[in-house]
Amino acid sequence: MLSGALDAHLDHYDSITTGHISQALHYLNIGRLPALVVLCLLAGFFGLIGILLQHACLMVWQSPLSNLFVVPVSLLFTIIAVHYTGKIVAPWIPRDHSSAITEEEYIGSMALITGHQATSGNPCEGKLTDQFGQIHYLLLEPEEGKIFTKGDKVLIICRLSATRYLAENNPWPQIL
């Protein structure tokens, strides 16, 4: 969830999507990987490379290097490591996918009347199953002069208010 929020905010800035910043973010695989994964890779590699570099210096010269030297060198190797690791890992890390749909996406969908009877101005409950298998219960009402009864399959035409939708009987009963 946090990663999706970071990715969403990065998409809104034009200065990030053009120029040198864009090239740097692309090199770090922002866009192929969630931003939080890239942040974890950066932190992990920076710490690991810094410790390994100091350990190697202790083994060779029996004294640690100055942080003024270790930090830039670690940062350089970290960026390179994140670039190549990100390319390898990106195909296996799923992107953020949501099964949430907007209420406008109900329009054009088929629903089943579960209430007893609906007339114009007097809606009844209808059950809609979206493309992700989620069930939604809506208030559906027919056009003027028509009646829905329990078990009818209807096509949602438009939204009448925040809670009500206009529907018509299934125009393709032989297909759907």
Distance of CA 58 to the CA centre of its chain: 46
| Tokens of residue 37, six digits | 């994964």
Angle at 77 between CA 76 and CA 82, to 5 degrees: 105
Q: Which two tokens stand for residue 85?
A: 């690791």
pTM: 0.51
Amino acid (one-letter) located at 23: Q
Span(s) in the chain for CATH 2.40.50.140 = 103-169
Per-residue pLDDT tens digits for 48-99: 999 999 999 999 999 999 999 999 999 999 999 999 999 999 888 877 677 8
Q: Which CATH class is domain 103-169?
A: mainly beta
Which whole-number Å values give the CA distances from 166 to 83, 93, 103, 163, in the listed order? 52, 42, 13, 11
Instruction: Please give the pLDDT value at position 111.
Output: 94
Pairing of strands 135-141, 164-169: parallel
Calculate Rg over the CA atoms of the chain. Answer: 28
Task: Say whether pLDDT at 13 is over 90.
Answer: no
Distance, in Å, from the CA atom of 92 to the CA atom of 90, rounded to the nearest integer, reads 5
